[in-house]
Structure 1
Amino acid sequence: MLVFSWSLFALLLVSSSLAEVIKYTLEENATKGLSVGELLERANRDRHPDFDEPQLAQGDIAIRADGNKNADPCTSRGCLWSKWSDGKVYIPYYIANHFSSRERSIIVRGLESFSGVSCIRFRPYQNGDYEWLSIESREGCYSWVGRQGGSQVVSLSRSGCLYHNTVQHELLHALGFNHEQTRSDRDNHIRVLWENISQDMKYNFDKINTLNQGTSYDYNSVMQYHKYAFSMNNQPTMLPYPNSNVAFGQATKMSQNDIDRLNRLYKCCKY
């Protein structure tokens, strides 16, 4: 009887693992070739937030109910995470236990991708930490911009948000960055086609006083949305300017420009 019980348990584990592999294979096939902006827009399209979840601006940026949808908190108050005496920026994180081991590995890979290119070090939460990122599967993909204090939610829904580029995208928000297409110098590089944008989504393209860190506009940034973002008629909402043939919004990971401005913002002298 004991042998039968263990055999049944093992069979259930194998079946569960197989089901997860099939689920991810189907999801990867369905989303293959989609840009980070397309993945985020798709994941948040039919979002039905719980009562305790924030409003979103620009598609995936958490804001307070009485907040300005176009405000940049990093220009109005301190939003950076603290640097330690060794020159590193240690940011505690907690990954909710509702993620599977495979999902957790995607998140951890995204977290660890920062340590090799910057002074940012994400580390597991410890007792006594007074501020940390709480990575949870809530309604959609979203993050606050910059350090908020206390427990700060980064939502990576198990349905549609668990990709390397979306994890990096949301973590860059948490570190203090906005979207590329809202940069203060956007009009020198992107022409917004307002007539193609859904009426209730036009605010997502308003420029804000972003922290550009002296870097050039980056069409390949993981923070740049795709050309059809928030379109109401399947026509482009953005075109590169002055060369309308430049490819953009197709990043699969942080660009070198993303990395450079991150290091400038946090004054990373050594990794």
Structure 2
Amino acid sequence: QMLSNSQCVFYRFFFSADLSVSEIIENANKNIGEPMLIEGDIAIDNEAERNADPCTSRGCKWGKNTDGKVYVPYYIASHFSSREKSIITRGLESFSSFSCIRFRPSRSSDRDWLSIESKDGCWSYVGRRGGKQTVSLNRGGCLYHNTVQHELLHALGFNHEQTRSDRDNHIRVLLENVVSGMEHNFRKIATLNQGTPYDYGSVMQYFRTAFSKNGKPTMIPIPNANVSMGNAKEMSSNDKKRLNSLYRCCESPSISTLDYSLFI
């Protein structure tokens, strides 16, 4: 289907946002009361989850079907305009071009699904939670291609690049520049790296001044401090490799990997 000139201009605008993902998220998530957020945009239900590694301590993947695809049901709230829905849909559909992930409209028979809504800010839970699972993409500041992909990767089970357990070999965290009370956002956890190298260009990597109280860097790449970091416009090749590895997209489905809830 051909796009009109106005739609093409609209897509270019939202794809080439000048702000990094973390800047978009920080701007959108100021003064959010609920839900409780960690690392800027990861939703948790209670304090007990703050120090948990949700996607390594429990099963969090979406199930694989008999055809080798991973179908993730979603619902886009009606309060989005048609243009806004097209941005979200473009982000959803981008996963099918390189992986076995297939986002599809939810049905009444679905037990688990993503409910994409315009709540306060941009945020998501990490991994499959069960039942209705909200992904917030606020109409006023979250509808950018890279931000949509970022939040969907959270929902598929991925954390931020800078929280990798091996991050100290690749970045230096400057806690003296971090807003008081925000230090926990730089804790290291057992992330799903899938054997890939640290990636400054990951769409999950925050900008070097994330959570800064004084405009100075809170993270510096090492050994080369001048490396571009946190400026991704879309998923990197490593983001794609991790997703394909986690969901075993290149393997044939087996009995043990099937999600029988899909057939009930």
**Does TM, normalized by the shorter one, top 0.5?**
yes
**1:39 equivalent in alignment to 2:24:** yes
Correspondence for 2:118 among 114, 137, 140 = 137
**1:159 equivalent in alignment to 2:161:** no
For residue 260 of structure 1, what is the aligned residue in structure 2? 241
**Counterparts of 1:70 and 1:247 in 2: how far apart (Å)?**
30
Unmatched runs of 5 consecutive residues or more in structure 1? 1-20
**Counterparts of 1:70 and 1:249 in 2: how far apart (Å)?**
24
Deviation at 1:69, TM superposition (A): 2.0
**Counterparts of 1:150 and 1:192 in 2: how far apart (Å)?**
37
Correspondence for 2:37 among 56, 61, 69 = 56
**Counterparts of 1:197 and 1:218 in 2: how far apart (Å)?**
22
The residue correspondences of 1:80-119 to structure 2 (distance < 5 A) are: 80-119=61-100
**Counterparts of 2:157 and 2:17 in 1: how far apart (Å)?**
29
**Counterparts of 1:139 and 1:149 in 2: how far apart (Å)?**
22
Deviation at 1:270, TM superposition (A): 6.8
Contact 2:196 2:238 in 1 (8 A): yes
For residue 149 of structure 1, what is the aligned residue in structure 2? 130
**1:200 equivalent in alignment to 2:185:** no
Deviation per CA, 1:220-253: give whole Å up to 9, x if none. Answer: 0000000000000111000001111111100000
For residue 260 of structure 2, what is the aligned residue in structure 1? none
TM-score, normalised to structure 2's length?
Answer: 0.88
Correspondence for 2:162 among 173, 177, 181 = 181
Deviation at 1:41, TM superposition (A): 0.8
**Counterparts of 2:27 and 2:89 in 1: how far apart (Å)?**
23
What secondary structure, in the 3-state scheme, does the structure 1 residue paired with 2:96 have? coil
Deviation at 1:106, TM superposition (A): 0.2
For residue 69 of structure 1, what is the aligned residue in structure 2? 50
**Counterparts of 2:96 and 2:104 in 1: how far apart (Å)?**
10
**Counterparts of 2:156 and 2:216 in 1: how far apart (Å)?**
32
What secondary structure, in the 3-state scheme, does the structure 2 residue paired with 1:113 have? helix
Contact 2:74 2:116 in 1 (8 A): yes
Contact 2:17 2:144 in 1 (8 A): no
Letter of the 1:64 partner, please give it. Answer: D
Deviation per CA, 1:187-226: give whole Å up to 9, x if none. Answer: 0001000100011111000101111100000000000000
Letter of the 1:137 partner, please give it. Answer: S
**Counterparts of 1:180 and 1:71 in 2: how far apart (Å)?**
17
Q: Percent identity?
A: 66
**Counterparts of 2:238 and 2:39 in 1: how far apart (Å)?**
21
Where is the helix percentage greater, Structure 1 or Structure 2? 1
Unmatched runs of 5 consecutive residues or more in structure 2? 1-5, 253-264
Runs of 4+ in 1 over 4 A off after TM superposition: none
What secondary structure, in the 3-state scheme, does the structure 2 residue paired with 1:94 have? strand
Contact 1:146 1:175 in 2 (8 A): yes
Contact 1:118 1:270 in 2 (8 A): no
Contact 1:143 1:170 in 2 (8 A): yes
What secondary structure, in the 3-state scheme, does the structure 2 residue paired with 1:200 have? coil
**Counterparts of 1:102 and 1:270 in 2: how far apart (Å)?**
36
Contact 2:165 2:191 in 1 (8 A): yes
Contact 2:77 2:117 in 1 (8 A): yes
**1:213 equivalent in alignment to 2:194:** yes
**Counterparts of 2:245 and 2:17 in 1: how far apart (Å)?**
33
Number of equivalenced pairs: 242
What secondary structure, in the 3-state scheme, does the structure 1 residue paired with 2:72 have? strand
For residue 226 of structure 1, what is the aligned residue in structure 2? 207
What secondary structure, in the 3-state scheme, does the structure 2 residue paired with 1:91 have? strand
What secondary structure, in the 3-state scheme, does the structure 1 residue paired with 2:61 have? coil
Structure with larger Rg: 1
TM-score, normalised to structure 1's length?
Answer: 0.86
For residue 122 of structure 1, what is the aligned residue in structure 2? 103
For residue 232 of structure 2, what is the aligned residue in structure 1? 251
Deviation per CA, 1:111-153: give whole Å up to 9, x if none. Answer: 0000011000000011211100000000100000000000000
Deviation per CA, 1:76-123: give whole Å up to 9, x if none. Answer: 110000001111000000000000000000000000000011000000
Letter of the 2:160 partner, please give it. Answer: H
What do you get for the CA RMSD once the two structures are aligned? 1.8
